[in-house]
Chains A and B, each alone.
Chain A
Amino acid sequence: DVKVTQSSRYLVKRTGEKVFLECVQDMDHENMFWYRQDPGLGLRLIYFSYDVKMKEKGDIPEGYSVSREKKERFSLILESASTNQTSMYLCASTKQGPTEAFFGQGTRLTVV
């Protein structure tokens, strides 16, 4: 069974903390993505990566960074968490080209 696994389902962090959200896929996919999902706003792309050590900004990269040191792992980093980063975060992966995306189960992050 193909899988995209996010390290935590629920996370509560304090304002100003550095937060790491981890995502691992076992399908040898080239592309990996981080989205955040907020009511009424749908899924908004934060960052994506098309190869190891390669990354591109999505539509809302401010306040976030990413790391892809290995093909199977894509990390989202909140350098200094703020309350407006409270959200559901979704990781996805695809093969090269416009193929279907496989999603993780999501991480609901609350920043207090």
Chain B
Amino acid sequence: AQKVTQAQTEISVVEKEDVTLDCVYETRDTTYYLFWYKQPPSGELVFLIRRNSFDEQNEISGRYSWNFQKSTSSFNFTITASQVVDSAVYFCALSEYGGATNKLIFGTGTLLAVQP
């Protein structure tokens, strides 16, 4: 069965610190997709990134970077030089390739608080 674990419930950092959010997943499929979403205080989830199971290259987008390691079933998210605007709940999600449907399973989320 699919499962996504985000063991860190809350993280608090001071502005300009680097922070890594952990995500560990379980799936029996060989083809699957992993996602990160951000939920700011306003409530609406915002898509950040999608990776497929065949692409283990790390990705960097500005201050954000993602480390995908199939060997440890992990898809971790690092924010470099954190800012107050990064304060949000971050969700990791998993989707198995099921043809037409895209059943997204989410982790429990990590609340990141960036203090000025």
Contact = CB atoms under 8 A, between A and B. Distances in A.
* Interface band, chain B: 20 to 34
A25 interface: no
B35 interface: yes
B44 A42 contact: no
Interface string B36-71: 010000111111001010000000000000000000
Interface stretch (A61-69, A72-80, A100-108): A100-108
Nearest to B92: A42
Interface of B: 6, 9, 33, 35, 37, 42-47, 50, 52, 91, 95, 97, 100-109
A31 B101 contact: yes
Contacts of B37: 101, 103
Interface of A: 30-31, 33, 35, 40-45, 48, 50-51, 56, 58-59, 88, 90, 92, 94, 96-106
A58 B44 CA distance: 21
B102 A97 contact: yes
Contacts of B43: 88, 105-106
B34 to A, nearest CB: 10
Contacts of B102: 31, 94, 96-99, 101
